[in-house]
Structure 1
Amino acid sequence: MTRFDGHVALVTGGASGIGAAIGSRLRGEGAHVVLADIDADGLARAAAADPDVATVACDVTDSAAVEAAVAETVRRFGRIDSAFAVAGAARFGTITDIAEDDWTFTVDLVLRGTFLTVRHAARAMRAAGHGGAVVIVSSLNAHVPLYGGSSYAAAKAASENFAKSAALELAPHGIRVNAVLPGLVATPLTAPLLGVESVNADYLARIPARRAADPSEIAGPCLYLASDDASYVNGTSLVVDGGWEITNYPDLAPLLEG
């Protein structure tokens, strides 16, 4: 497939998980890709696996770092056509007991990181005058509460709504912004949860597909939203969860309190 021939994309959180899968799928369809991440070792592995992929160290909570990542994308490939805001993680704890620094860490990474990625990518697209597409990877937890993860769920809900505001503001510049809300995905972020047998079983019992998604199964919908096939799709949210949202969420209290 070559629907992204000549296309230039920046992927934050690109060293592993969903971000790495997006980068791989983009490269496979002809795109020039810049992977941005704070994980230097992960970026090195990605570059070793594909010498044509570009990498840049980037803390998405640092405005100057994100601006530099966008500038490096334009410097290297002459333009930026799409940006994928994937970087995210969480520090867990109940509302009454979580350290305030842990709450701030999660909200800054998930929400501020999304804001800065969209801000600087959109500025570059607007300046070039050719439009573009932004895909924000939110979470099913934007809709479904998460015991012990209120900071993550709140930030993901905010990032989903932010996508709609961004779509409204950037549409006059030909820039589309959409959100993808993954359910359970087998990534380094979810590995600690899936490693607890009872919790893993509880997850799978609630997912009609009876399994976690592979990161590539999230990458596909993300690429669709960045492609010309989605040229009239803007400000929407696509839940990709194997049917989980139509059931209910497992009880994580034993994991956090046991």
Structure 2
Amino acid sequence: MTDFTGKVALVTGAASGIGAAITARLHAAGASVLLADVDAERLRTAVADVTRAGDVEAACAAAVEEFGGLDLVFNVAGAARLGTVLDGGEDDWRATVDLVLGGTYLGIRYGGRAIRATGRGGAIVNVSSLNAHVPLYGGSSYAAGKAGVEMLTKNAALELARHGIRVNAVLPGLVRTPLTAGWFDGGPIERDFAARILAGRPAEPDELAGPAVFLAGPDASYVNGTSLVVDGGWEITNYPDISAAVEA
């Protein structure tokens, strides 16, 4: 395991799922971690809504105040309000894009500023999605937002490199988290997922945490502005038809 002793990290969406797994990995590797999430019940370290610039800026400032600086940012927070292009709610569409794309933008903006201020460089890892490449029935807002995260990652890498800050993205496939719990009911959609994912199963959160932490560490020192798909081989097959679940 890479040694992150002396490094300070901010993880959004840290209360559960991939964010919690990344946090556990960083702690085990010696990093100091500021956990941020909108879920006040699960997390009492820094309650932050990543769609609000003030919250994100405050979380970065809290990391600096508590630990003396900031080196790493993991933009994990995300969710989706499903609905078709024709019949889904316009407010739901905007809210999803604001969360998955806008929240990542704010994490890069204020996290990047805090890292720049240390003068020692660092790394930012954004959690995009396989849906940046593969459309999702009823999830146009999520897919479009995550595709935006992938390009935002490249643009941020281009701009932040002069400050010694690398920016990369992880693109998960299906991961077993509280947000995806509804897929795992033993029904036809779950079976269809299993049949199409070459690994034959969804990922566990720690299987995404490992690649994310790798991208932030010294072994990835020459990796910048890229996307790492971590999907069990799903992208090279195709996507299940989930219309029955979306339109139920």
Shorter-chain TM-score tier: over 0.9
For residues 102-156 of structure 1, give each alpha carbon's deviation from its aligned partner in whole angstroms, at most 9, with x where no partner exists. Answer: 0111000000000000000111111221111000000000000000001000000
The counterpart of 2:159, out of the listed 166, 169, 176, is 169
Which amino acid is 2:140 matched to? S
Determine if the alignment matches structure 1 residue 216 to structure 2 residue 206: yes
Which amino acid is 2:124 matched to? V
Determine if the alignment matches structure 1 residue 238 to structure 2 residue 225: no
Structure 1 residue ranges (4+ consecutive) displaced by more than 6 angstroms after TM superposition:
none
Q: Is this contact kept in 1: 2:2–2:217, CA < 8 A?
A: no
For residues 188-210 of structure 1, give each alpha carbon's deviation from its aligned partner in whole angstroms, at most 9, with x where no partner exists. Answer: 11111223611100111100000
CA distance in 2, matches of 1:217, 1:62: 29
Which amino acid is 1:29 matched to? A
Paired residue for 2:148?
Answer: 158
> Structure 1 227/22 Cα, relative in aligned 2: closer, same or farther at 3 Å?
same
CA distance in 1, matches of 2:224, 2:114: 19
CA distance in 1, matches of 2:204, 2:183: 16
Q: Is this contact kept in 1: 2:22–2:209, CA < 8 A?
A: yes
Q: Is this contact kept in 2: 1:148–1:256, CA < 8 A?
A: yes
CA distance in 2, matches of 1:184, 1:16: 15
- Calculate percent identity across the aligned residue pairs: 64
Paired residue for 1:49?
Answer: none
Determine if the alignment matches structure 1 residue 106 to structure 2 residue 100: no
How do 1:175-186 residues align onto structure 2 when only pairs under 5 Å count?
Answer: 175-186=165-176
Gaps of 5+ in 1: 45-54
CA distance in 2, matches of 1:124, 1:18: 23
CA distance in 2, matches of 1:256, 1:36: 30
For residues 36-84 of structure 1, give each alpha carbon's deviation from its aligned partner in whole angstroms, at most 9, with x where no partner exists. Answer: 000011114xxxxxxxxxx201000000110000000000000111000
Paired residue for 1:43?
Answer: 43
* Count of aligned pairs between the two proteins: 248
TM-score (norm 1): 0.94
What is the DSSP-based 3-state SS (H/G/I as helix, E as strand, rest coil) of the residue aligned with 1:41?
Answer: coil
Paired residue for 2:126?
Answer: 136
Gaps of 5+ in 2: none
What is the DSSP-based 3-state SS (H/G/I as helix, E as strand, rest coil) of the residue aligned with 1:56?
Answer: coil
Paired residue for 1:20?
Answer: 20
Measured on the aligned residues, the alpha-carbon RMSD in Å equals 0.9
Q: Is this contact kept in 2: 1:60–1:116, CA < 8 A?
A: yes
The counterpart of 2:75, out of the listed 85, 98, 111, is 85
C-alpha displacement at 1:256, in angstroms?
Answer: 2.0
What is the DSSP-based 3-state SS (H/G/I as helix, E as strand, rest coil) of the residue aligned with 2:42?
Answer: helix
CA distance in 2, matches of 1:121, 1:57: 16
Farther off after superposition, 93-102 or 187-196? 187-196
CA distance in 2, matches of 1:86, 1:14: 8
Which amino acid is 1:28 matched to? A
Q: Is this contact kept in 2: 1:135–1:180, CA < 8 A?
A: yes
C-alpha displacement at 1:3, in angstroms?
Answer: 1.0
What is the DSSP-based 3-state SS (H/G/I as helix, E as strand, rest coil) of the residue aligned with 2:136?
Answer: coil
Which amino acid is 2:35 matched to? L
CA distance in 2, matches of 1:58, 1:254: 34
C-alpha displacement at 1:2, in angstroms?
Answer: 5.5
Which amino acid is 1:133 matched to? A
Which amino acid is 1:77 matched to? F
Which amino acid is 1:34 matched to? L
Q: Is this contact kept in 2: 1:87–1:113, CA < 8 A?
A: yes
CA distance in 2, matches of 1:103, 1:195: 26
Q: Is this contact kept in 2: 1:2–1:30, CA < 8 A?
A: no
Determine if the alignment matches structure 1 residue 5 to structure 2 residue 13: no
Paired residue for 1:121?
Answer: 111
